[in-house]
Amino acid sequence: MMATKIAYGAVGKPPLVLVHGGAGDIPDSGVRNKLDGVRRAAVEGHRVMERTGCVLEAVVAAVTVMEDLEGFNAGRGSVLTLDEKVEMEAQIMEGGNLDAGCVTLLRNVKNPIVVARSVMEKTPHTFLGGEGAETFAKQTGAEFAGDDYFKTSAAVSALERFKAAKSKAPGVTEIGDTVGCVAVDFQGHTATATSTGGINGKYPGRIGDTPILGSGGYADDSLATVSTTGYGESIMRYNLAQRVLTGIAQGKSAQQASEESVRGMTDRVGNTAGVITLTPSGQVGVAFTSKRMAWAYVEGDTLNYGIEQGQHLTMDVAEFE
């Protein structure tokens, strides 16, 4: 990992934009909705990638699509804290200069990923949280919404079920977790973006893995770009994104490094997670130890997607649109 020379990927290979819609114990009734959302996000990310040629634009576009949909645990569909608030987090990173922007404990902002990008581009800092982050978001003209926008009936009833179950540990709910996107362009430049509402019934002030560079995501043009999802405490303690990069550095394929890393996390610190990975040369990795994780990407005219273990479905992009 002590790269002294950055070896970029296969110049000229078509760009890729790979998204996930959260690892978790997604019930059968949620499958259709999740698949529809990740396909929509992948198609939009790919479209923006083709139009702008910019990996940052692509990952922000894809994540924004999912933040705006009620069915994902990020932005609008975020789960609630124990005191019934929405506290959101996000990170964005680009793999050339390792520039990054992260936000946490953000309330009432419609698109946390946009604020994360502003932190990267408009402040001397990498990570802002809480009131300071909100003040900054207002200064940059970020769009805000009232509590009624965020308190969806799904989030409210999920918290009610959590409280009724008297579970000791806040958990990833059937809503699923965290959305994310990784992208690579013609030149092998990489970026990653991840956004979440955290875990259902979390303590006020709880920070998860999503805004943590090396845990919730990481992008390095010399190795790979990664976005993770799942039980944040375990992901953070294991530095899941960095484990994938270490595997890549050891010569493993994107798929092998992704599989071994999520299994290694579950074995060492417990709970489940998922990762999506792209290398600068266009290798794709998709792996999760949870029951389900929706994912999708466009290659040529084909939309690739899946949500079950080992599943890889395809359809014409034109058919989806």
Please check if 209 is assigned to a binding site. Answer: yes
| Site membership for a copy of itself, residue 96 (CB under 8 A) | no
| 3 state SS for 18-29 | EEEEEEECCCHH
| Site membership for a copy of itself, residue 236 (CB under 8 A) | yes
| Site membership for a copy of itself, residue 251 (CB under 8 A) | no
Sign of CA dihedral 203, 205, 207, 210: positive
| Touching a copy of itself, residues 263-282 (CB under 8 A) | 264, 267-269
Supply the DSSP string of 213-235, one letter for each residue.
BTTTEEEETTTEEEEEEE-HHHH
Please check if 95 is assigned to a binding site. Answer: no
Binding-site member from 51, 149, 203, 314 for a copy of itself (CB under 8 A): 203
Torsion of Cα atoms, 26 then 31 then 33 then 35, to 10°:
110
End-to-end CA distance of the chain: 41
Write out the two tokens for 281: 């040369």
Closest by CA to 230, choosing from 287, 284, 279, 181, is 287
Please check if 217 is assigned to a binding site. Answer: no
Min separation Cβ 12 and a copy of itself, Å? 26
Q: Is 314 helix (H, G, I), strand (E, B) or coil?
A: strand
| Site membership for a copy of itself, residue 242 (CB under 8 A) | yes
| Site membership for a copy of itself, residue 149 (CB under 8 A) | no
Which stretches within 151-193 are classed as H helix?
Answer: 153-165
Please check if 232 is assigned to a binding site. Answer: yes
Q: Is 106 helix (H, G, I), strand (E, B) or coil?
A: strand
Q: For residues 105 and 278, which CB has a smaller minimum distance to a copy of itself in the complex?
A: 105
Please check if 208 is assigned to a binding site. Answer: yes
| Site membership for a copy of itself, residue 14 (CB under 8 A) | no
| Site membership for a copy of itself, residue 249 (CB under 8 A) | yes
Q: For residues 257 and 294, which CB has a smaller minimum distance to a copy of itself in the complex?
A: 257
Binding-site member from 173, 192, 215, 227 for a copy of itself (CB under 8 A): 215
Please check if 230 is assigned to a binding site. Answer: yes
Q: Is 141 helix (H, G, I), strand (E, B) or coil?
A: coil
| Site membership for a copy of itself, residue 154 (CB under 8 A) | no
User: Token pair 């079950």 is at which residue?
Assistant: 308
User: Token pair 């389900």 is at which residue?
Assistant: 292
Q: For residues 129 and 282, which CB has a smaller minimum distance to a copy of itself in the complex?
A: 129
Binding-site member from 7, 51, 52, 123 for a copy of itself (CB under 8 A): 123
Give the catalytic positions in this structure.
178
Q: Is 168 helix (H, G, I), strand (E, B) or coil?
A: coil
Binding-site member from 150, 238, 295, 297 for a copy of itself (CB under 8 A): 238
Which stretch in 2-10, 39-47, 66-74, 151-159 sits in contact with a copy of itself by CB under 8 A? 2-10
| Site membership for a copy of itself, residue 243 (CB under 8 A) | yes
Binding-site member from 207, 281, 282, 299 for a copy of itself (CB under 8 A): 207
Phi (first) and psi of residue 264, to 5 degrees: -60, -40
Please check if 207 is assigned to a binding site. Answer: yes
| Site membership for a copy of itself, residue 178 (CB under 8 A) | no
Q: For residues 288 and 305, which CB has a smaller minimum distance to a copy of itself in the complex?
A: 288
Beta bridge partners of 27: none
Determine the Cα–Cα distance for residues 190 and 6; give it in Å rounded to an integer: 13
Is the distance from CB of 283 to CB of 13 less than 8 angstroms? no
With 0-12 CB in 10 A as exposed, 13-18 as middle and 19+ as buried, what is 33? middle
Please check if 206 is assigned to a binding site. Answer: yes
Q: Contact residues for a copy of itself (CB under 8 A)?
A: 1-4, 93, 97-100, 102, 104-105, 123-136, 168-170, 202-208, 212-215, 218, 232-233, 236-239, 242-243, 246-247, 249, 260-261, 264, 267-269
